[in-house]
Structure 1
Amino acid sequence: MAKTTTRKPPVRRKPIKKKKSFFSPKFVVIAVLVLGLFFGLYHYRNAILYYFSFKTDKVLKDDKVAQARIYQVLQAHKQMTFGFDVSQFQGEINWKEVYSIENKFPLRFVLIRATAGNDKQDSQYNNNWEGAKEQHFIRGAYHYYRPNENSLEQALNFIKTVKLRKGDLPPVLDIEKLPKNQSIDSLKVGLKRWLKKVDEHYKVKPIIYTGEKYYEDFLKEEFKGYTFWVANYNFFVENIKDDWLFWQFTEKGRIKGINERVDINIYNGTPKMLEYLTITN
């Protein structure tokens, strides 16, 4: 009879546990976020201290983040020249109180809306124009261009309203909107007609105001002979670009003497250089 043998059950080995890596994807993400927060706080340390500690006795009711950015940008450009722009939307301004931002950054120029379209005069233009003169600001006047109205009629509206003198800035054409019933090429023809008419009248080349995207997409290449005042409110844009004559970097400024929020601007040069930009005769 054959001998039967019993097999021993196989030895079960405990599965080897893989050691968890200290640098897991979750850890890396958290570390990046913490580092980003740290460097962000360090980068904006002066602005944060200024608006969130004891550097000001002003009770801020508006967006503190926006105010911190304003401080940061002005501080980074303190070798340049600061100004603002106004229209009827700022209401009646107490010009005798207007001279600086937070008693720290002196204001030297103001751009004032004079007209819009082919028939509108800004309701506060005359008051603002005279008030700015009394405060010895370098002042400029701008026209808000309506793409769907006749360009030459708009130019005549501006010329009829604005009397520029020695020491004033060149006239400004404000173009922000795209046309509804004409092509971009037709719009550009209209803009050139306005610029040419105004240039012939004042004997000085106008400045063009627009947003950065509008500037890059439609105006930069075809209007190379002109200087530009560019609006960009992006929180992460901190420096004026070389091809911007003026930079409107916020619409949330607070200035003593003005009850409403106001646009703050930087001129890409020193106060003396700004004087050279003004009309000389």
Structure 2
Amino acid sequence: MAKQVKRKPTSKRRPAKKKTFFSGKMIGFLITVLILLLIGITTYHYRDALAYYFSFRSKHKIENSNATKVEEARIFQVLKRHENMVYGLDVSQYQGQIEWENAKIVEDTFQLQFVFIRATAGKDKLDSRFHENWKNAKAANFICGAYHYYRPNENSLLQAENFIKHVRLKKGDFPPVLDIENLPKVQSMDSLKVGLKRWLTKVENHYKVKPIIYSGEKYFNDFLEDEFKGYTFWIANYNFFVEDCKDHWTFWQFTEKGSVPGINGNVDLNIYNGTPKMMNYLRIQ
């Protein structure tokens, strides 16, 4: 009888790993390259702003600004890109007492020529520093405009009367400004639009000039653009990636983190979308 030979069990072969073009190391390398490329593009794009900050900002202690370095770079970049236009600011009682004679230059380079000053809010609020700011800004040769902060849930005609009661506009001033940026809590959007139109009409009839409307870009796009054609718009947009004033923005409030000598803390900065000569036609004649 033949002797049986025990066969060794065959070992199971592990399936060979498929070679992939993008290995983990390769993906990591590509991500690093993309990040460095993005940093390089950003650095080149903000080269003027960065050069400014490495020179002026490194030599001067800036105490008033709470903006990050990125925000500061954008502010400089936006101002630099609009050198043929007109710069300004807007203030209220929250800026405290302002040294207007010193508040004429932003970023040590760009001259501020106009200011919008909050006058009233709602049906009975007077900004506690309106008359002081109005008098002193004019004494410092700023072109001035007064704005009313609209409260959607209060009577529109009473709000118009509140503004008219406290604001005296003269030749050379900007038209009155309606600031609308909040949604109503107890009324419909249609009712809000009716109220805004009543305010605008009453104020226009009193001052004999069409008011300016201030709002954020989204508010403008969603609620104001179609209903209020023919008005001059002052639009707020602080988006980091927006560096150019759009055609339909007569005024652009591009930051709330501006630092201006003579003002404690941050302040809103604005650009008029045109030349000084063009802006003069907008003023009360």
* TM-score, reference length from structure 2: 0.90
2:277 pairs with 1:272: yes
Deviations 1:114-160 (A, max 9, x none): 00000011000001101111111111000000000000000010011
Partner of 2:246: 241
1:158 aligned to 158, 163, 170, which one? 163
Give the SS at the match of 2:158.
Answer: helix
Partner of 1:36: 38
2:51 pairs with 1:49: yes
Query: Deviation at 1:22?
Result: 6.9
2:92 pairs with 1:87: yes
Question: Is the contact made by 2:122 and 2:154 (CA closer than 8 Å) also made in structure 1?
Answer: yes
Give the SS at the match of 1:167.
Answer: coil
Question: Is the contact made by 1:108 and 1:271 (CA closer than 8 Å) also made in structure 2?
Answer: no
- Where do residues 129-144 of structure 1 align in structure 2 (5 Å cutoff)? 129-144=134-149
Give the SS at the match of 1:140.
Answer: strand
Query: Deviation at 1:98?
Result: 1.6
Question: Is the contact made by 1:143 and 1:158 (CA closer than 8 Å) also made in structure 2?
Answer: yes
Structure 2 segments unaligned to the other structure (5+ residues): 3-9
Partner of 2:6: none
Query: Deviation at 1:97?
Result: 1.2
Partner of 1:7: none
Query: Structure 1's 133 and 20: CA in aligned 2 closer, same or farther, altered over 3 A?
Result: same
Question: Is the contact made by 2:76 and 2:107 (CA closer than 8 Å) also made in structure 1?
Answer: no
Query: Deviation at 1:21?
Result: 3.7
* TM-score, reference length from structure 1: 0.91
Q: How many residues end up aligned between the 2 structures?
A: 278
Partner of 1:231: 236
- Where do residues 39-188 of structure 1 align in structure 2 (5 Å cutoff)? 39-51=41-53, 53-56=54-57, 57-60=59-62, 62=66, 63-188=68-193
Which residue identity does 2:36 align to in structure 1?
A: V
- CA–CA separation in structure 2 for the residues paired with 1:108 and 1:31: 45
Q: CA RMSD in A?
A: 2.3
Give the SS at the match of 2:261.
Answer: coil
Query: Deviation at 1:15?
Result: 8.8
Runs of 4+ in 1 over 4 A off after TM superposition: 13-20
Question: Is the contact made by 1:88 and 1:123 (CA closer than 8 Å) also made in structure 2?
Answer: yes
Give the SS at the match of 2:215.
Answer: strand
Which residue identity does 1:223 align to in structure 2?
A: F
- CA–CA separation in structure 2 for the residues paired with 1:149 and 1:15: 75
- CA–CA separation in structure 2 for the residues paired with 1:238 and 1:27: 32
- CA–CA separation in structure 1 for the residues paired with 2:146 and 2:45: 37
- CA–CA separation in structure 1 for the residues paired with 2:62 and 2:140: 26
Query: Deviation at 1:219?
Result: 0.3
Fraction of identical pairs, as percent: 61
2:194 pairs with 1:189: yes
Which residue identity does 1:59 align to in structure 2?
A: K
- CA–CA separation in structure 1 for the residues paired with 2:183 and 2:16: 67
